[in-house]
Structure 1
Amino acid sequence: MTEVFLAVDAGNTKTWAGLTTADGELVGLVRGGIGDIYAPAGPEAAKAVVLGLVGELLDGAGLRPGDVRHSAFRLAGVDWPEDAQFWTAALRELFDVGSFSVKNDGFALIRSGRLDGQGISVVLGTGAALAGRGPAKEWALSWWLQHPLGGQGLVSEALRAVYLSQLGLAQPTKLSAVLPSVFGASTPEEMLEATTHRGNPSTFATLAAHAPAVLALIDEDPVVAGLVDTQADRIADYCLSLIAACGLADDATVVVGGGLVREPGAPLYEALRRTCERRGLSLDVRHTQDPALVGALLDAIAEGGATPTEAARRRLSAATW
């Protein structure tokens, strides 16, 4: 029987689970809901999503958990040891035999930058997940430590820019005319109430969904351009911190991907490149269109004792997502 490797990438908008062979043949792929134990639905709901997808994936492939060589779980919300312990206990219910690893979803993209798993990953989607792995240690930058980043951070800061402008404390912005209708309101005041009243439906995911409306103004509104540049500057700072903590070289590979920067010319990715150039940083910044699950599957292959190859990465990247 051909050995298979399993990986899960769980986030605040969706969760993917996949099975691959060591040479990158995608054996199975399923998608489900939110797999972050810090999401409003809580840890048991996230557990149900992840375990349900794994069960669906294995059933679809006609496999049992014991048939999997190794599994890599890259999960949003694995911020503290007790979070990893929660998932380890939950997964042990399913994988009573066999090996698996549990890490923050920030690690998922690293092997899409370098197959040896060394470097930094910056995943920009609903939020941001940053992690580094080097000769000194591996470290995921806690969500709770970061400035607001990713789609949710961008929209939150855009809303703040509108309100500060209304108060006369910041420069006028075209966001004041554009964002209210996006949130189903007529004025900034109505938008503020719609997004903050008791029982309002706003979540990280619903806020992040409006990031395209903000980015659409980047070439005509200096406020929006400033928000993007500020986020890029903060990401560069965090990358430098990860380099120092993990013992990486100054020219470490930084792989950038995720829904907010899906295309190579995405505004935030280009802003990060400009920021590194302006600051004289020698970071090897690379863009990837790989879904984070591709990197997680490469992690599963490597941790399972096989050697991930560039051919396997290309094959997984070219799969239908």
Structure 2
Amino acid sequence: MSSLVLGVDGGNTKTVALVVAADGTIVGSGSGGCGDIHNAGGPEPALVEIGRATTAALDGARATAADLAAAAFSLAGADWPEDFVFLRSELQGRLGLRDEPEVVNDALGGLRCGTEDMVGVAVVIGTYAAVTARNADGQLFHLGFWPDSTGAFALGSKALAAVWRHMLELGPRTSLLERALARWRCADAEELLHAFTRIGGLEDSEPGRFADAVLDEAEAGDPVARTIVETVAGRMGDYARVCAARTGLLGAPFPLVLCGGVLRHPSTLLRAALHSRIPEGRPVYPDVEPVAGAVLIAADLVGARPDVRRLQSALAGSTEHQG
């Protein structure tokens, strides 16, 4: 029987696929665009990108889908029960997998990155954020959509709104103005507003690119940026606490896995604000890329124990997998 496993991490910014041998050696990799069936313009474009990444990884491994011992997909947008039914069926059929693949929300992939038994709470902060909890009985809780926007997109959107409120003399001045003008090469706030709202203007995803600047300015002491970071992080902490409560984890310490591109920023403000809402969590910061969670879930299905250090080393050495 083959020892190869496939792990795929599908996010809003990119999709990464790895084919990995039993010892953790990466033998094939591939990448694609947005793999979120709710945000890629519909399920079909997302499936195309997932398929593109997977096919490239299999080609790199000189393998076919039939050669895989197991496959797992950790996907943003795998939210509701019908999503999982749809994705399992479509991915098996389109990719020619022998068996129905494991499909999980990308927050669960994040949880596996930071734990051996997938027990705890995970907050994955990328373009958006995914939050989940799982207890020792295997009970899961996460929602498809939270009531408030989170992640890089929320940080950037709130920052731009603050810039435009100041333009209208409805809010205080903020150093975010200069950062935004430099980022998008505009002369003033009104030109920036036009760049975002004119026909054929900047893409809707652009605010997410501003999260790093918001965190920079918050760390430097800008009160507007600091309030934005504390608000967005507090919401994510609240959602993490809800997940922990729904799975009975509150009342004793548990792993709080924190991962995703936004959390790589050196500022500690976001992490501190999040943790303040769920102090029972013991922060865990995985030092592997999110796709490693999908690989490990696939390996778990067949009892394989890939060397995580080998996997980590290979991922760290490949710019393709940097977030």
Q: TM-score w.r.t. structure 1 length?
A: 0.89
Counterpart residue identity of residue 311, structure 2: L
Q: 1:318 aligns with which of 300, 303, 313?
A: 313
State the alpha-carbon separation in 1 of the partners of residues 285 and 7 from structure 2.
22
- Give the deviation of 1:40 after TM superposition: 4.6
Structure 2 SS opposite 1:306: coil
Counterpart residue identity of residue 55, structure 2: G
Residue aligning to 1:54: 54
- Give the deviation of 1:87 after TM superposition: 1.7
Per-residue CA shift, 1:65-110, capped at 9, x if unaligned? 1221111111111222332233223212123522411122121111
Are the equivalent residues in 1 in contact too, given 2:120–2:256 (CA < 8 A)? Answer: yes
Aligned pairs for 1:163-312 within 5 A: 163-204=164-205, 206-218=206-218, 219-250=220-251, 251-262=253-264, 266-267=266-267, 269-273=268-272, 276-277=275-276, 281-302=279-300, 304-306=301-303, 308=305, 312=307
State the alpha-carbon separation in 2 of the partners of residues 245 and 197 from structure 1.
44
Per-residue CA shift, 1:223-276, capped at 9, x if unaligned? 11121122221121111101011222442211111111225xx32x54323553
State the alpha-carbon separation in 2 of the partners of residues 188 and 67 from structure 1.
55
Are the equivalent residues in 1 in contact too, given 2:263–2:271 (CA < 8 A)? Answer: no
Per-residue CA shift, 1:17-71, capped at 9, x if unaligned? 0012333222222122221222354322211111122122212212221221111
State the alpha-carbon separation in 1 of the partners of residues 131 and 105 from structure 2.
9
Cα pair distance change 1:289/1:203, threshold 3 Å? farther
State the alpha-carbon separation in 2 of the partners of residues 76 and 295 from structure 1.
13
Structure 2 SS opposite 1:291: coil
Q: TM-score w.r.t. structure 2 length?
A: 0.88
Are the equivalent residues in 1 in contact too, given 2:3–2:68 (CA < 8 A)? Answer: yes
Q: Percent identity among equivalent residues? A: 33
State the alpha-carbon separation in 2 of the partners of residues 240 and 315 from structure 1.
34
Counterpart residue identity of residue 315, structure 1: R
Counterpart residue identity of residue 192, structure 2: M
Number of residue pairs the alignment of both structures matches: 312
Are the equivalent residues in 1 in contact too, given 2:234–2:273 (CA < 8 A)? Answer: no
State the alpha-carbon separation in 2 of the partners of residues 249 and 306 from structure 1.
30
Per-residue CA shift, 1:146-198, capped at 9, x if unaligned? 42222111000101111222333332211123313322322212212221233
| Structure 2 gaps, min length 5 | 319-323
Structure 2 SS opposite 1:145: coil
Counterpart residue identity of residue 305, structure 1: V
Residue aligning to 1:130: 131
Are the equivalent residues in 2 in contact too, given 1:36–1:43 (CA < 8 A)? Answer: yes
Cα root mean square deviation, aligned: 2.2
- Give the deviation of 1:305 after TM superposition: 2.9
